Amino acid sequence: MPTPKITVLFYTTYGTNHAVAAEAVRAAEAAGAEVRLRRVRETAPDEVVKGQEAWAAQVERMSDIPVAEPDDMAWADGYFVSAPTRFGVVASQMRAFIDTLGGLWQSGTLADRTFTATTSAQTLHGGQETTLFSLYVTAMHWGCVLVPPGYADSVKFEDGGNPYGWSGSAGELDETARKSIAFQATRLVEKTAKLIG
């Protein structure tokens, strides 16, 4: 059985989605995947980033994580994507990276890969579902196989119950959030293994 290759792709300003990505990496590796952790490039001007202590500190915290390149998408059999909700859709930094993938899409390289997504937002009805939908719409354009968590594990009845992907409030992840993210990442690996097997 071939080892599934998973790219965990994230954007964060304050760290929530970095923590989500780290948990996804841990779980995906435990499930037997080879994993690349990649952050998308910051597009906000330097003076804006440096103007907010928390933002600048987060950039420093993840400075050792490689910036995502199109090759990280070509390499993987499946994608775990995590990024904040911004005005009801995904943060523009993530979209900026996605918009560099036209060539890979055109060559059919992104087709038949698995895809799952998670997000965070400030408020309960702040747009988590629309953010996840916006990512899944893109994944459908690529011809990916969507792997949402649904309610396929009992943790989905404890974590706020978003069947489209884990979503939660910005800030530290609690134990239930970690379990749910781990479930979603493990499920991605298992479905990817079946697809490439």
Ligand X SMILES: Cc1cc2nc3c(=O)[nH]c(=O)nc-3n(C[C@H](O)[C@H](O)[C@H](O)COP(=O)(O)O)c2cc1C
Interacting residues with ligand X (CB under 6 A):
12-17, 84-88, 120-123, 126-127, 170
* Positive/negative CA dihedral, 14, 135, 138, 114: positive
Closest CB to ligand X among residues 120, 186: 120
Closest CB to ligand X among residues 11, 183: 11
Minimum gap (Å) between residue 49 Cβ and ligand X: 12
Minimum gap (Å) between residue 73 Cβ and ligand X: 21
CA dihedral 13, 180, 23, 52 (to 10 degrees): 10
Which residue has the closest beta carbon to ligand X? 126
Q: Is 133 exposed, middle or buried (0-12, 13-18, 19+ CB in 10 A)?
A: middle
- Torsion-angle region of 196 (φ positive above 0: left; ψ -120 to 50: alpha; else: beta): alpha
Cα distances (Å, whole numbers) of residue 36 to 24, 33, 73, 161: 11, 10, 10, 28
Minimum gap (Å) between residue 42 Cβ and ligand X: 11
Residue with tokens 């199109």: 70
Minimum gap (Å) between residue 121 Cβ and ligand X: 3
In the numeric block, which tokens belong to residue 136? 């899944």
Closest CB to ligand X among residues 88, 160: 88
CA 88 – CA 74 distance, rounded (Å): 28
Minimum gap (Å) between residue 17 Cβ and ligand X: 4
Closest CB to ligand X among residues 16, 162: 16
Closest CB to ligand X among residues 123, 154: 123
